[in-house]
Structure 1
Amino acid sequence: MEATRGKKNPAEDRMCGREIFPDLCSPAPVRLTVWCKSLLFHGHGYTVYDDSDGRMVFRVDNYAHNWRQETVLMDYTGNVLLTIRRRRKILNLTESWEAYKGDKDVQRMVGERMPLFKATKNLGCHSCTISMFTGCGVKPLGYRMNWSRDKEWSKIYQAAANTPVAEVSRKCGSMAKKLLDKDVLTLRVQPGMDQALAMAMIMITNSMR
């Protein structure tokens, strides 16, 4: 018993860091194609593919009337990974979004359960702050997102080290420097960064722009 005292469970280590979905944390850089369209004919959303093998990684199908207030990020089979909810308080100019793990009744969860992370738009500039919540008793990683409307890119940084962990930009076609349509993007995710978190943050960024 003494030998194991004070040691953390590996699952706890993952939840205290940025590996919320370990299977979506690659030891090598990953490049994804983000198509800003839903697979559903009348839906709003995203369809995301891995450039290395063409397989679908994520999908977002928004067909409810309140899709601007609440949306879900799913894996390729339709299992909900994250529920994202917009939070706007009356008489408050600051916009924020909260993300919860899984597919649950977010209306019931708000006020009862701590979100996985909260994104708050910074006033007066094209950026937002990401606050992670773990409940593990350790200080979690924080992130910062910046974006450029003119150059059409968004970047995610690990706040403490100011290290870029993901970046999204317009996708180029087979011809050099030939950009595809505005709804086709390239998402580059650095080693160790959870791809689901990166995609959720990019979705929030697009809502802020």
Structure 2
Amino acid sequence: MEIKGELSSNICSSSPVRLTVWCKSLLFHGDGYTVFDDSDGRIVFRVDNYAPGRWKNKDMVLMGPKGHVYLTIRHCKKILSFTESWKIYKGDRDTYSSILLKEPLLRVTKDSGNLTCTASMASGIDGSEKSGFRLSWSRCEEWSKIHTLASDEQLVAEINRKFSNSNKILLGEDVLTLTVQPGMDQAIVMALIMITKSI
């Protein structure tokens, strides 16, 4: 399921893609993620938190290897609400005035206590609602799955703890393997994974 016209087509693939997600920033003592392509070892995405503290209640920014910002993920939790929500925007959080005028690519909502949440794509120009995704995860076993909201609930991405290929040794709780299915935007997948891990 490709989001056409919104993001660069080079972050979609015609075949399944396997990525390694290292839940560490390349910055010294930084907080974030570094994502590598398993096929050639190159960095695909990075997420760096320059401010002190964890991601909770902060914007998260998904960047390319050279710092180009693909997406901004904004947490929108309201006081005394049992629902948490996030908005995913194309572009940089530093362009604050223009971001406020943009429609988000996706809206993600989660009710308190649920281990699933839904991501709805922004409405089309004709006012029709585009399809979205259902996210599920296990914090204990460290996995997440992303299905479409269509009737067939197609699996478009999943992430699990990563083991070595040779002797099946766990590589660490902060090293994960992410598989993205053909046609699914890898940046959108990574943004959704970041949300599940920030909850």
Q: Assess same fold via TM > 0.5.
A: yes
What's the C-alpha RMSD, in Å, of the aligned pairs? 1.9
Identity among equivalent positions (%) equals 55
Question: What is the aligned counterpart of 2:180 among 183, 189, 201?
Answer: 189
1:201 to 179, 187, 192: 192
Deviation at 1:110, TM superposition (A): 6.2
Call closer, same or farther: CA 1:96–1:109 in 2, change over 3 Å.
farther
Match of 1:85 in 2: 74
Do the aligned partners of 1:155 and 1:166 also contact (CA within 8 Å) in 2? yes
* Corresponding residue of 1:76: 65
Q: CA deviation at 1:34?
A: 0.3
Greater alpha carbon shift after TM alignment, 192-201 vs 126-135: 126-135
Question: Which letter does structure 2 place at the counterpart of 1:176?
Answer: N
TM-score (norm 2): 0.89
The structure with the larger Rg is 1
Deviations 1:30-62 (A, max 9, x none): 000000000100311000000001111000011
Q: Distance in 2 between matches of 1:106 and 1:94?
A: 27
Following TM superposition, by how much is the alpha carbon of 1:106 offset from its aligned partner in structure 2, in angstroms? Answer: 6.3
Deviation per CA, 1:126-179: give whole Å up to 9, x if none. Answer: 111101115432432210000112322100001113010000000011333321
Q: Which residue of 2 aligns with 1:155?
A: 145
Instruction: Answer yes or no: is 1:98 the counterpart of 2:98.
Output: no
Structure 2 gaps of 5+ residues are none
Query: How many residues are paired up?
Result: 193
Partner Cα separation in structure 2 for residue 134 and residue 43 of structure 1: 36
Whether contact under 8 Å (1:33, 1:49) holds in the other structure is: yes
**In 1, distance between residues paired with 2:129 and 2:22?**
35
Could you tell me how far apart the structure 1 residues matched to 2:185 and 2:149 are? Answer: 16
**Aligned twin of 1:173:** 164
Task: Indicate the SS of the match to 1:186.
Answer: strand
Q: Is the 8 A contact 2:63 2:71 kept in 1?
A: yes
Q: Give the distance between the partners of 2:145 and 2:165, measured in 1 at CA.
A: 24
